[in-house]
Amino acid sequence: MEKSSLFQKYGQILEAGRDLFKEGDPGDTMYIIQKGRIKITKRVNNVEKILMVLGKGDFLGEMALIRQTPRTATATAIDNCELLSFNRNGFVSMISKNSSIAMNIIEKLCLRLEKADNQIRDLAKRDVKSLVISALNDLRRATKSPGEWEASSSLNYSETVRNISMQTNAPEDEVETQLGRLISSGFLAKDGNVLDIVNSEELDKLDGYFKR
């Protein structure tokens, strides 16, 4: 089945800023992202934490579909998104006719399990510096520049400190210390309450280095 015919049958459009579903909602549909980005957030101790940012080819909502349980997190569109949506019967029908899609889903599920296992081990051994860098990258990818589709290169400094502190459980003064070191090293720049990402690629490399 061609992608265009799949979208005609199962496609839907989600505007930027809209929730696809919220934590606690009943779940009977899974989604495959065809275009755009969606951030997954969860409330922990009344604090919203970003779990991940998903993009083209990623899927979400599969646990609620398979186990028929409420949504365990909230999914919000960062960009205008094009999605394929499947209820249980539609999902079974789709994978029975598209073995390549079924294999792709299985592969991504395996990668997610591997990533989750690695994250558990990382959290046990990583220091505050590496956690701050990782959280900063997550916030950067989840924040869109006004009128643009790409991730923002500028962030509100005070909001960034607060968000990273909530995500990592590190005190705000320690987060500011780590951001100050990144500024001194040239990865970031600060002008008033604006935090600029000087080189996102180098920040990604630094994040990857600490995850080894």
* Residue after which a domain boundary falls, among 88, 116, 144: 116
Read off the pTM. Answer: 0.56
CATH code of 205's domain = 1.10.10.10
Distance between start and end Cα atoms, the chain: 40
pLDDT of residue 121: 61
Q: How far is CA 139 from the centre of its chain?
A: 9
pLDDT of residue 76: 95
Same domain, 26 and 112: yes
Query: Would you say 169 and 99 are in contact if contact means Cβ atoms under 8 Å apart?
Result: no
pLDDT of residue 152: 61
Return the sign of the alpha-carbon dihedral for residues 21, 26, 29, 31.
Answer: positive
Neighbouring residues of 188: CB distance < 8 A, sequence distance ≥ 6: 179, 182, 195, 196, 197, 198, 203
Residue 50 domain flag: yes
Q: Closest Cα to residue 29, out of 77, 63, 72?
A: 63
Same domain, 100 and 7: yes
- Positions of the chain with pLDDT under 50: 1-2, 125, 146-149
Same domain, 53 and 147: no
* Residue after which a domain boundary falls, among 89, 116, 143: 116
The number of folded domains in the chain is: 2
Same domain, 47 and 110: yes
pLDDT of residue 12: 92
Q: Closest Cα to residue 134, out of 211, 41, 75, 53?
A: 211
Q: How far is CA 19 from the centre of its chain?
A: 14
**Domain membership of residue 133 as a residue range:** 126-210
Residue 121 domain flag: no
